[in-house]
Amino acid sequence: MKAAVIGSGNIGTDLLIKMIRGSGVVTAAAMIGIDPGSDGLARARRLGVPTSSDGVAGLIALDGFDGIDVVFDATSAAAHHRNAAALAPYGKTLIDLTPAAVGPYVVPSVNLDEHLDAPDLNMVTCGGQATVPVVAAVAAVTPVHYAEIVASIASRSAGPGTRANIDEFTETTSRALERVGGAARGKAIIVLNPAEPALLMRDTVHCLVDDADTGRIAASVRAKAAEVAAYVPGYRLKQEPQFRTLAADDPLVRLGGGARLLVSVYLEVEGAAHYLPAYAGNLDIMTAAALRTAERLAERSTGR
């Protein structure tokens, strides 16, 4: 399967290198940007990948465009709306790494196979990719009345695109906790940590549930974490899931509709350091999830 990347910044460049380093089933067919001097375009040219600095119009005009099956969009939420509209007549499958949410939310370990026929698949956000699987794992055992996540990422790994999408991050992640994770109500918070040296991505997941089998919940969370780690090797639980019964007057109980069992899961995401530093797990989990999505599309096209 041939794929093009729109966006020659950190995320797009990391994704390109992941494909070249050995996806095996997804081939890098083009790298598209808007800055002729970007490092991403320069690296693509050195690696023999066709490039254009004319944005999506340059992609459409590129020799070999007709043979491209998948287009990854690693630009911004606002730009994706324009890119999707421009590419709509050509029948390409779009994999959206922005929080634009034009298409259905996709988290590979949770619901990928449900949306393989969608023309535009949205990778939610870095926080969504890290935490939605945990909420889904808890919801597989018992209803989740309220889910709250805090994603803490190194400030140095939050480039202009990430910072421009902060509002979309909180909205998109919150909705994904509900629509994909299965929570009745979701809340997402992001923290840009300025610590030096830069810290790895950390995620905290809180779920409010009724009395339930804590052993089954812990086992479900461990199993789902292993599924994510299969395509994001740096994804791991920092400790076993924690359980605490809240006091009746705890403010969280009101958010959970009276549910008092608090399930807390603490995660860490270390990047593979293909192009980005190891601390940039927030970016690495997005590119890894997007590539896994394209690989599954390729597998489906060959009947696997």
* C-alpha–C-alpha distance, residues 81 and 50, integer Å: 24
Distance, in Å, from the CA atom of 171 to the CA atom of 122, rounded to the nearest integer, reads 14
Cα 265 to the chain's mean position, in Å?
A: 18
Phi first, then psi, for residue 280 (nearest 5°) are -85, 50
Catalogue the long-range contacts made by 84-92 (C-beta closer than 8 Å, 24 or more residues apart). Answer: 84/120, 86/56, 86/57, 86/60, 87/56, 87/59, 87/60, 88/119, 90/60, 90/65, 91/119, 92/68, 92/119
9 marked among binding-site residues: yes
Interior CA angle at 45 toward 39 and 51, to 5°?
A: 90
Is 43 among the annotated ligand-binding positions?
Answer: no
Q: Is 33 annotated as a binding residue?
A: no
11 is annotated as contributing to ligand binding: yes
Q: Give the Cα separation of 233 and 229 in Å (integer).
A: 5
160 marked as part of a ligand binding site: yes
Alpha helices in the chain (DSSP H): 10-22, 39-46, 55-61, 77-87, 108-111, 126-139, 160-164, 166-179, 214-229, 251-255, 281-301
Q: Is 183 annotated as a binding residue?
A: no
- 165 belongs to an annotated ligand binding site: yes
162 is in an annotated binding site: yes
CB 71 within 8 A of CB 87: yes
Distance CA 20, CA 224 (A): 28
Fill in the DSSP letter of residue 105: B
184 appears as a binding residue in the annotation: no
Q: Is 101 annotated to bind ligand?
A: no
DSSP letter for 246, please: P
Q: Which residues are catalytic?
A: 126
**Spatial contact of 26 and 1, defined as CB atoms under 8 Å apart:** yes
Q: Is 164 annotated as a binding residue?
A: yes
Which residue ranges are tagged as binding site for NAD(+)? 8-11, 157-165, 282
Binding-site residues from annotation: 8-11, 157-165, 282
